[in-house]
Amino acid sequence: MPHGHHHDSDEISGRHLDWALLRRFVGYLGAYRGAALAALLLLPGVAAAKLAQPYLLMLAIDDYIIPGEIAGLWLIALLFLLALAAESLLSYFQVYAVQWVGQHIMADLRREGFARLPRLPVAFFDRQPSGRLVTRLTSDVENVGELFGAGVVSALGDLLTLAAIVAVMLWINPRLSLVAFAVMPLLLLLGLLFRHHIRRANRQVRARIAGLNAFVAERIAGADEVRLFAQEERTLKEFDQLQDDYQSASLRVINWDACLYAGVEALGAVAIAAILWKGGGEVLAGVTSFGVLVAFIEYVQKFFAPLRDLSAKYSVIQASNASLERIFNLLDHPAEPLGKHTAASGPGTIRFDRVSFAYDAEAPVLHDIELDLPPGATVALVGDTGSGKTTLGRLLLRFYEPTAGRILLDGVALSDLDPALVRRRIGWVSQEPFLFDGSVHDNLDAERLRDGAELEEILRRTGADRVVARLGGLEAHISERGRNLSAGERQLLCLARALVPDPQWLILDEATSRLDAETEELVRAGMEAARRGRGALLIAHRLRSIVHAERIVVLRRGRIVEEGKHRELLAKEGLYARLWRLQALENGQSSEGT
C-alpha cells in the first residue's frame, strides 16, 4: 500500500497510562492554578446536589406520601427543585472553568511546539513530513486539551460521586448496598480486558491521521506535478486507501468504546434487577421501606452513570496519552546546539580542516576536505551532480555538523558558535528562493535591522527596487511562496534579503540555474553588486557563470580534485576542462576559454 510504511513509524509505544507523562502535563496547570482549583472545588458541590435528590425522594415517600402527610410535601418538592438548580448551576461554572484551563493549555502547547520547530536540526525535517508535524501542533494538541477537561477533572468528579454514593448507600442500607456492589468485580475485569485494545486503537488513529495529513500536504505542494503527469487518478486511489485505513482505525476505537459502554450498561441493569428482587422482598417483609427501595434504584442509576462516563473518560485519557507521547517527543527532541560563543568578530577567514560528512552512515558525501577561504575572496565550487557542492555550503551554515574534521571561522570552530551568529555573518541565496505570505518589508527585514534608507539602498544595489516598485512598495503583499512574482523577481528579493544583516560572506547556490538568459543577466548583475566588499562562495553548475572567480575548486565524489583559475584549469586538461568543453558543445559555443 502506498505510504503504508509511514504508519507504524508514528505509533509511539509506552505504558497504558504513562504517569510520568501525566505528571509532566500537570505542570502546565501551574499558570492557571486558580481556575483549575476552582474547577476542582466545585466538584463536591455538584456531587452533593446529585446525591441529595434520591434522598429527598426517600423522605417524600416514607415521611409524607405513604403516611398521607401532604402538608409538608411542598417543602421536600422545593428542596428537590433547589438541588436540581444547584446541580445545573454548579455544573455550568465547573465545566466553563475546566474548558477555560484546557484552552489555555492547548495554546501553551501549540506555542511551545511551534517555538521548538525552528530550533530543531535540519536533519530532523529531512525525516519528518510536514503534514505529521502539523498534526502534532493541531489535532494532537486539541486531543491533549481534552485531557484536563473531559479527562482528568471529569474522572475525578465521577470518582468523587461514586465514593459519595457508596457512602450514602452503606449508611442507608448496608444489605442492599452489598447486592448492588456484587457486580463490581465484573466491572473491574471488563476494564482490564478492554484497556489494551482501546489504547492500541487510539494510537493507530493518531498514526493514520498523521499519515493522511502528510499525504495531503505533499500533494497540495505538488499540485502542478500531479496535473502535469496525469496523476490525479493514482493520487485519489492512494488518498482513498489512506482514508480507508484511518476510517478502519476510527471504527475500531468506536467498536471498543461501544462494547465497554454496553457492558457497563448491562451490568447496571443486572444490579437494578438484583435490588428490585432483594429490596422488593424486604419491603414486603417490612424490613425495608418503599422509599429506601426507590432511593436505592435512583442511587444505582446515578452510580452507573459515572461508571459509563468513566469508560468514555478512559478512552479520552488513552487518546490524550498517545498524543502527549507524540507532543513531548517533539518538545524533547534535541535542539540545534548553540555553541559556547554567542559573539565573535574577525575579518571572516574560513577554513575547512579535514572535513568529512555523511547524511547517513552508509553513504559519505564529503571526504577529508581541506579548503581555505580568505576574507573578501570570490571562490567557486563546481563539479558534477552529487559531488558535494551544496553540502559544503550547508555545512558552512551549520545546517549540519561534520561527521569528522572542523570548520573554522576566524579560528573558532563553527560548532562553538551560535548558529544565529554564523548565519548573520554568512548569507545564503539558494536555487529555490522561498518567500513567505506577508508584506515585502516583513520578508526582507522581519527584525527591522535596517532603516528605510538603508533598505532602499540594498534594493537599489541588487536591482530589486524595480520589483518592489512594481508590487507597490515595501508594504505590498507577497503571496504564499511568492506566487505573485516571477522566478527572477523572487531571486532578486532573496538576494536583497541575504544582504540585510550585512554578512561577511555570501553563498550563492546555483542562484541562476533556473532562470532564462535575460533574467539570469539581471540577477547576475544584482549578485555582482551584492558581492562587493564581501567574500562570495559560488556553487555553480554552469561554468560560464564563474569564469571570473579568483579561485575555482573542482569536486568529484566528495573530494577536491582540482583548484585554480579558469585558464589554469583549462590548461591542466583535467575534469574542469572536460566539463567546460561539454557545456560549450551543449551551448553551441567555442570551447576556448574567455
Please report, in tens digits, the pLDDT of each residue of the chain (594 residues total): 444 444 444 554 444 556 788 788 888 888 888 888 898 888 889 888 988 888 888 888 888 888 877 887 888 889 999 999 999 999 899 889 888 988 898 899 999 988 888 888 888 888 887 778 888 888 888 888 777 766 677 777 778 888 888 888 888 888 888 887 777 788 778 777 776 777 777 778 877 887 888 888 778 777 767 776 677 888 888 888 888 988 888 888 888 878 877 887 788 788 888 888 888 887 887 778 888 888 888 888 887 777 766 666 666 777 777 788 888 888 888 888 776 766 667 888 999 999 999 987 767 889 999 999 998 888 999 988 888 888 998 999 898 889 999 999 988 888 888 888 888 889 888 878 888 888 989 988 888 888 888 888 888 888 888 889 998 988 999 888 788 888 888 888 888 888 888 888 988 887 665 555 666 676 667 667 666 778 889 888 878 878 888 899 999 988 999 999 999 999 998 898 998 888 775 555 544 544
In a shared domain, residues 310 and 354: no
When computed from its CA atoms, the radius of gyration of the chain, rounded to whole angstroms, is 35
- Using CB atoms within 10 Å of the CB of residue 587, give its burial: 0 to 12 exposed, 13 to 18 middle, 19+ buried: exposed
Q: In this structure, is residue 139 part of a structural domain?
A: yes
Q: In this structure, is residue 382 part of a structural domain?
A: yes
Q: In this structure, is residue 408 part of a structural domain?
A: yes
In a shared domain, residues 303 and 371: no
In a shared domain, residues 327 and 416: no
Query: Could you give the CA distance from residue 579 to residue 594 in angstroms, rounded to a whole number?
Result: 15
In a shared domain, residues 95 and 68: yes
Q: In this structure, is residue 344 part of a structural domain?
A: no
Domain boundary among 284, 306, 332: 332
In a shared domain, residues 180 and 299: yes
Q: In this structure, is residue 343 part of a structural domain?
A: no
Query: Could you give the CA distance from residue 104 to residue 582 in angstroms, rounded to a whole number?
Result: 62
In a shared domain, residues 270 and 395: no
Q: In this structure, is residue 252 part of a structural domain?
A: yes
- Using CB atoms within 10 Å of the CB of residue 5, give its burial: 0 to 12 exposed, 13 to 18 middle, 19+ buried: exposed
Q: In this structure, is residue 118 part of a structural domain?
A: yes
In a shared domain, residues 296 and 323: yes
CB distance 134 to 217 below 8 Å: yes
Contacts of 200 (CB under 8 A, 6+ apart): none
Query: Could you give the CA distance from residue 559 to residue 371 in angstroms, rounded to a whole number?
Result: 11
Query: Could you give the CA distance from residue 82 to residue 70 in angstroms, rounded to a whole number?
Result: 19
Residue span of the structural domain in which 50 resides: 5-11+19-332
In a shared domain, residues 376 and 303: no
In a shared domain, residues 390 and 318: no
Number of domains in the chain: 2
Strands 350-358 and 364-373: antiparallel
CATH number, residue 515: 3.40.50.300
In a shared domain, residues 417 and 279: no
Q: In this structure, is residue 365 part of a structural domain?
A: yes
CATH number, residue 271: 1.20.1560.10
Residues in the chain, overall count: 594
Contacts of 47 (CB under 8 A, 6+ apart): 157, 160, 161, 164
- Dihedral in degrees, nearest 10, Cα atoms 279, 285, 287, 290: 50
In a shared domain, residues 285 and 406: no
Domain boundary among 282, 299, 332: 332
